[in-house]
Structure 1
Amino acid sequence: MRVELSRDYRFEAAHRLPMVPPDHKCARMHGHSFLVEVTIAGDVDARMGWLVDFAEVTRVVEPLLLGELDHRTLNDVHGLENPTSENLCAWLWARLAPELPGLLAITVHETCTARCTYRGV
């Protein structure tokens, strides 16, 4: 049986977008309560009855989010000098894909109505 498994994580961070015009609201420093959805796809292990232990996903994801992004200015994080949702998705993918076999998608929600999904290349 093939399934998609998703787990949500939250972190708080500030950023500004340096490439937008100076009068754009996102050119100013502002913060978000980010929601990151990590989705893994694959075949359920017949013996275990699951694709992967949710705790294993958390073991990989939380140190990255809490250790490198939470309560930080994203512009100061190496590789996120232009911290758009799109760039944040790709940054997370590059760090999580080697540790999470079957990674299907990373979705970053900046707000409850604005999000970006990246499925790797």
Structure 2
Amino acid sequence: MRITQGFTFEAAHFLPHVPETHRCRRMHGHSYRVELTLEGPVDPVTGFVVDFFDLEAAFAPLLQRLDHHCLNEVEGLENPTAELIAIWIWDRVKPAMPMLAVVKVYETAMSFAEYSGG
């Protein structure tokens, strides 16, 4: 069974390693959406894979570090591409949520990076 919970945050960033002429080199912002997907058996007593409230609690400290911040100033996100944000989230959520299977980070409604630990 797979379950997914979504989260949103607003943040600014710039990409320091793209060419000077690339529009993402300049500071700009996104309304990010993060989806955390967990995979595992359904507990026969609770009926849950994981309680969504537990997943929300595990992600809350990260959300606080990201929301309404400049991502380049967050330790470990000096080059905050969607791909690297997904890995950054994975590395911090996986220890608390071992059933984490996929992290998706949407920069726009049409563009996202997906990471599954490999």
Q: Distance in 1 between matches of 2:36 and 2:82?
A: 14
Q: TM-score normalized by structure 2?
A: 0.98
Q: Distance in 2 between matches of 1:81 and 1:47?
A: 44
Q: Distance in 1 between matches of 2:98 and 2:45?
A: 19
**What is the match of residue 100 of structure 1?**
97
Shift of 1:101: 1.9
**What is the match of residue 61 of structure 2?**
63
**What is the match of residue 29 of structure 1?**
27
**What is the match of residue 42 of structure 1?**
40
Q: What root-mean-square deviation, in Å, do the aligned CA atoms of Structure 1 and Structure 2 show?
A: 0.6
Q: Which runs of 5+ in 1 are unaligned?
A: none
Shift of 1:95: 0.4
Q: Distance in 2 between matches of 1:105 and 1:69?
A: 19
Q: Distance in 2 between matches of 1:52 and 1:96?
A: 14
Q: Which runs of 5+ in 2 are unaligned?
A: none
Give the ranges of 4+ consecutive aligned residues of structure 1 lying more than 4 Å apart after TM superposition: none
- How many aligned positions are there? 118
- Look up the SS of the partner of 1:14 in the other structure: strand
- Look up the SS of the partner of 2:21 in the other structure: coil
Identity of aligned residues (%): 46
- Look up the SS of the partner of 1:89 in the other structure: helix
Q: Distance in 2 between matches of 1:76 and 1:52?
A: 32
Shift of 1:23: 0.7
Q: Distance in 2 between matches of 1:35 and 1:62?
A: 14
